[in-house]
Amino acid sequence: MPLLWLGLLLAATLGMEQLEGVLRLIEPDSREVIYRRDTFLALLVQHVMVVLVASLLAVAIGVGAAIAVTRPAGRDFRPLVGQLASIGQTFPPVAVLALAVPVLGFGTLPIIMALLLYGLLPIVRNTLAGIEGIDPAVHEAARGMGMTGVQVLRQVELPLAAPVILAGIRTSVTINIATAAIGATVGASNLGDPIISGIVNGNTAYVVQGAVLIGLLAISVDSLFERFMPRLAPR
């Protein structure tokens, strides 16, 4: 299944020219129906890179924070981290962009910042749920057998919570693939470019091209997760 979607994505990226006839139907009056300011491949690569960097950072920070607040020493910060992650998600990415541009300038950095904040919640929430959802008896036994904190974390908590954590990462990445498009408004060139440019110039065909590619990318990545994610361990 992931191969099918990846194939479609690649075909659409490289062969958009072939669809000129179909796209002409959407926008019969425009001079140009294929977006040509940049190749779709370059835009796709840019898009993937931005999401990848933002997601890796979100995973590192999100999983790290959730682990930290489930340790005895960090327990006091548990409510705070939960709230911060929620605020990150309720804060619209566009607003983050608007606030980040004066500080970070135009280009890729502000969008990475926005995606990072936006993608944090599902990761933090799921990591907390995964770790806190472990049967307390398992935890008790692990400590009672003489495992150290690090051993409990690595051999018991993380493996048992992994499916739930990965589900959070999957949600986060998929949302970010779609959200990254707004980066085009602050000069990050990615698959959002054709969409923004289409809206500005009143060219629906551009919008369709960007949207189709983003959609295919999101589905491809999601099906990759589906394919390679470990099943929820029996409890």
Partner 1 sequence: MIELFDVTKRFGDEIAVNDISLRVEKGELCALVGTSGCGKSTTLRMINRLIEHSEGEIHLDGQPVRTFNEQLLRRRIGYVIQSTGLFPHWTVARNIGLVPRLLKWPRTRIRERVAELMGLLGLPPAEFAAKYPHQLSGGQAQRVGVARALAADPEILLMDEPFGALDPITRESLQHELRDLQARLHKTIVFVTHDMDEALALADRLVVMHRGRIVQQGRPIELLREPVDNFVASLLGGVERGLKEAGLTRVSERMLPLGPRLLARERVAQTAPLRDALSMMLWHRVDRLTVVDDDDIPIGELSLRRLVGGRPE
Using CB under 8 A, list all residues that contact partner 1.
135, 137-148, 151, 156, 159-160, 233-235
Shorter beta-carbon distance to partner 1: residue 102 or 234: 234
Smallest gap from Cβ 149 to partner 1, in A, equals 9
Shorter beta-carbon distance to partner 1: residue 31 or 235: 235
Smallest gap from Cβ 233 to partner 1, in A, equals 5
Smallest gap from Cβ 234 to partner 1, in A, equals 4
Shorter beta-carbon distance to partner 1: residue 17 or 140: 140
- Three-state secondary structure along the chain? CHHHHHHHHHHHHHCHHHHHHHHHHHCCCCCCCCCCCCCHHHHHHHHHHHHHHHHHHHHHHHHHHHHHHHCHHHHHHHHHHHHHHHHHHHCCHHHHHHHHHHHHCCCHHHHHHHHHHHHHHHHHHHHHHHHHCCCHHHHHHHHHCCCCHHHHHHHHHHHHHHHHHHHHHHHHHHHHHHHHHHHHHHCCCCCHHHHHHHHHHCCHHHHHHHHHHHHHHHHHHHHHHHHHCCCCCCC
Smallest gap from Cβ 71 to partner 1, in A, equals 15
Nearest CA-CA partner of 181 in 205, 209, 203: 209
Shorter beta-carbon distance to partner 1: residue 73 or 145: 145
Shorter beta-carbon distance to partner 1: residue 29 or 76: 76
Smallest gap from Cβ 198 to partner 1, in A, equals 49
Shorter beta-carbon distance to partner 1: residue 34 or 129: 129
Smallest gap from Cβ 72 to partner 1, in A, equals 12
Q: Tell me, what amino acid is at 129?
A: A
